[in-house]
Amino acid sequence: MKKVNVTHLNYSNITELKPTLQYEELFHHALEGILIVNEGGKIEYMNPAYEKLFGVSRHTFTGKGIHQVPNDDLLLASLKTMKKLQGFINTPFINRSISASASPIWKGDEYKGVMAIYREEASTKNFTFKPQEEFVELKKAFNNIIGNNPKLKKELKIAERASNTRSTILINGESGTGKELVASAIHESSPYSGKPFVKVNCGAIPANLLESELFGHEQGAFTGAIKRRIGKFEQANEGTIFLDEIGDMPLEMQVKLLRVIQDKKFERVGGSETLQCNLRIIAATHRDLKGLVETGKFREDLYYRLNVIPIQLPPLRERKEDILELSDYFVVKISKRFNVRGKKISQGVKDAFLLYDWSGNIREMENLMERLMVLVEGDEITLEDIPDYISHVYNRNVDGVAENGLINLKPEGEMALMEEYEREMIALALKRYGSFNAAGKVLGISHKTVAFKARKYQLLD
């Protein structure tokens, strides 16, 4: 049988094949790993190269759901979106860098599933997944926003399109996800980039001063108002006003903001002159405004006025493929800012960064990288240099079976009973993945079986 290099294979006709037997005629001797799943996510075929690459058996997994093999986000994304994807993937079980491409399989207009091709590369970047969906080119102003995550790129494309209009924009996202950076990029990409961009943090200004801050005041309007003050809306006229943390705005101010959005008019505090404003409003919040509306803490009419074009920035824990790029970016940025020598980030630290959840998102990473760049004396940042709450996550997830565990791979190691191995595997899976369902998916058994075994071996607290 002739060997086939699948990189150059035209597989448009594979939809005519029947599972397994005909696939073997094409892919059995391919150098690259091949995995084919149907539209329901069931595995129809994996070739010997895939078995060797991922350490699995096609006899065990053919016909099973894709979640029961060492799958990757790239394949799952292609299966869900029905789009071609390519990039680099890895899992905690494979200490190698693997390039991958996934392509939907169509029979006429009928979606039949996905074929994925895998190749081991020379690089050894652990746990990385870097999808490169159909290239999304953004305007120059958005180039300062680091990341290739598909969710992020999709939201940035919405932001770019919105920049050409005067529509009100609401940017949602956890603290530290870059909401202000996106707002600034929208303004810089707009036809009004030469006009003012005025920022207001609604949560940082006391409630009794917020009206004056936004709309200004006349001389003598209140104690201490010794002269007229021009407010932020007046300053931002013809440009953009960015209302950060809009969810913290008091209800009485929400009423006044609603009038400005509706009528484009306002008065200074203590004044009678009605002023016109022509500007774009970009609001941002880390809070659930819909939930605040339901509890009466945010006006429903204002919410819908602000939510004309919503943008949802994903947290860093959902952008794992961007973490290493961001950390490298901050090394360069901070070394220039403080005039210090750049440092190498060890592979262990990179793995720890990828496993950590980053509750403070990009802001947390930048602050941590600044601390490390300034305080670490050597040329390399190691696991000993990073905070315990990050390194502990790495140690808990990556160390695997302890040296004194039952599974001893040394030549002189004593063998244990099968039940003892099983008990340790079930215990380790539950500790690492936290639930019967997740542990079952990793071990290739049902959650009911995991629960039964956990009770049998008295693993439940």
Question: Which span out of 20-29, 156-165, 397-406 was modeled with the highest average pLDDT?
Answer: 156-165
Strands 280-285 and 240-244: parallel
pLDDT class of 21 with cuts at 50, 70, 90: low
pLDDT at 369: 96
Q: Does pLDDT of 457 surpass 70?
A: yes
**Percentage above 70 pLDDT, the chain:** 84
For the ranges 12-21, 266-275, 323-332, 372-381, which has the lowest average pLDDT?
12-21
pLDDT class of 257 with cuts at 50, 70, 90: very high
Structural domains in the chain, sorted by start: 6-120 (3.30.450.20), 140-312 (3.40.50.300), 317-398 (1.10.8.60), 404-461 (1.10.10)
Q: Does pLDDT of 422 surpass 90?
A: no
Q: Does pLDDT of 127 surpass 90?
A: no
The tokens 């880390």 sit on which residue?
Answer: 286
Q: Does pLDDT of 414 surpass 70?
A: no
* pLDDT, the chain, mean: 82
Q: Does pLDDT of 320 surpass 50?
A: yes
Q: Average the pLDDT over 126-133 and give the result.
A: 43
Q: Does pLDDT of 129 surpass 60?
A: no
**Exposed, middle or buried by CB within 10 Å (0-12, 13-18, 19+), for 325?**
middle
pLDDT class of 133 with cuts at 50, 70, 90: very low
Q: Does pLDDT of 141 surpass 60?
A: yes
pLDDT at 70: 61
Q: Note whether 431 and 399 are within 8 A (CB).
A: no
Three-class secondary structure of residue 448 per DSSP: helix
pLDDT in tens, 198-226: 999 999 999 889 999 999 988 877 777 77
Rounded distance between C-alpha atoms, residue 176 and residue 365, angstroms: 9
Of the candidates 191, 117, 158, the one whose C-alpha atom is nearest the C-alpha of residue 313 is: 158
Of 192 and 18, the structure prediction assigns the larger pLDDT to: 192
Q: Give Cα separations from 370 to 118, 334, 362, 392, 394 (angstroms).
A: 37, 6, 12, 21, 21
pLDDT in tens, 228-246: 889 999 999 999 999 999 9
Q: Average the pLDDT over 422-431 and give the result.
A: 85
**Exposed, middle or buried by CB within 10 Å (0-12, 13-18, 19+), for 302?**
buried
**DSSP secondary structure string, 350-373?**
HHHHHHS--TTHHHHHHHHHHHHH
pLDDT at 406: 52
Rounded distance between C-alpha atoms, residue 73 and residue 90, angstroms: 9
Q: What single-letter amino acid sits at 365?
A: M
The whole-model pTM stands at 0.60
Q: What single-letter amino acid sits at 333?
A: K
pLDDT at 137: 63
